[in-house]
Each structure stands twice: as structure tokens, then as C-alpha cells.
Structure 1
Amino acid sequence: MKELLKIKHFSKVNYIRFFGLTDTFDIETFYDYMKKNKLTRFYFVFSHPLSYAYLNRLNEIMDEVIETQNHEYKVPYMVIC
């Protein structure tokens, strides 16, 4: 995720899909970016094996997104296979 953010026009991309993500994906950097993101739609498909701690963190993020009343950001679509 940190490498993607270095791309000059990354914040202007409309739609991004990632398939087969594992727990090496930097979810914390993405989460920080997500809360400021007003344009890009993200679609993530995570694949096993995912560590218990990573899976827990994904669930915490999804719970926070669900509980938020007014989203000032584009809500990501996340699938855990």
C-alpha cells in the first residue's frame, strides 16, 4: 500500500480490485488512506491463510465502517474467502 501511495495519480483512480490478498497487505496504511478517500472504490478479496490477528483486525475495520453513520469516504468492499 505504501508503494501505491507513492504513485502521483493514485488518488485520482476511480476503481481498484485486488484478488488473492494475504496478510502481507498493509491494512493499516490502507485504513488510514481509506478514511480520507473520496474518489476510489476498492474491492478486496482476501485469501487464506490469514493470521488470526490479521483476520481480527479486518473484522474490527469492517465493524467500524458498518457502525459509522455518515461516511466521508468511499466504503471498500471486502471479501474473505
Structure 2
Amino acid sequence: MMNGKGFNLLHRLSYLVMSKISNCNHTCPFKGWFEVKDAIVETKWIPSVLPDGLYRFDTQGVNEEGYVGAMKFYVIVTNPDF
């Protein structure tokens, strides 16, 4: 289970990413469901230590009352050549 600080950081990061998505219906998982289907995030260059590739992350949403739901998201990593 995440503590309050961990969830707040995750929620803030989710907001920063999701605010860049044009076809996104987002609500806080404590009050509703987080729903994105076939969304494309703006391309940004962020340094990464991960090798190039497609990554899938699975997580479980929980709150004080218990289980909220399963979430999964995909990240494509491509590091530019300098």
C-alpha cells in the first residue's frame, strides 16, 4: 500500500503527464476512475537510464477504504544519439 506522500507524488506525476493528452478523461482514483484509451502523449526528451524499447508498467490503486483498481501503462523509450 502507498503512503500519502507516495500517492500524492504519483498523482502529481500523472496529472503532469495526462495534462498533455488531448483525448483524456481523468479523475482522481479516490473519487472516480482513471480512463485513457488510445491516447498519445506529446513527445518530450527526458534522459533515461533504461535501454531503448517498449515497457509495460502494472500497478494497483488503493485508498483508505481498500482496493481502487488495476492500472497499466506503456512507455516507449528512445534515447537520441549525440
Structure 1 length-normalised TM = 0.30
Structure ID, larger Rg: 2
| Structure holding more helix per residue | 1
Structure 2 length-normalised TM = 0.30
| Structure holding more strand per residue | 2
Which structure ranks higher in relative contact order (CA pairs < 8 Å, sequence separation ≥ 6)?
1
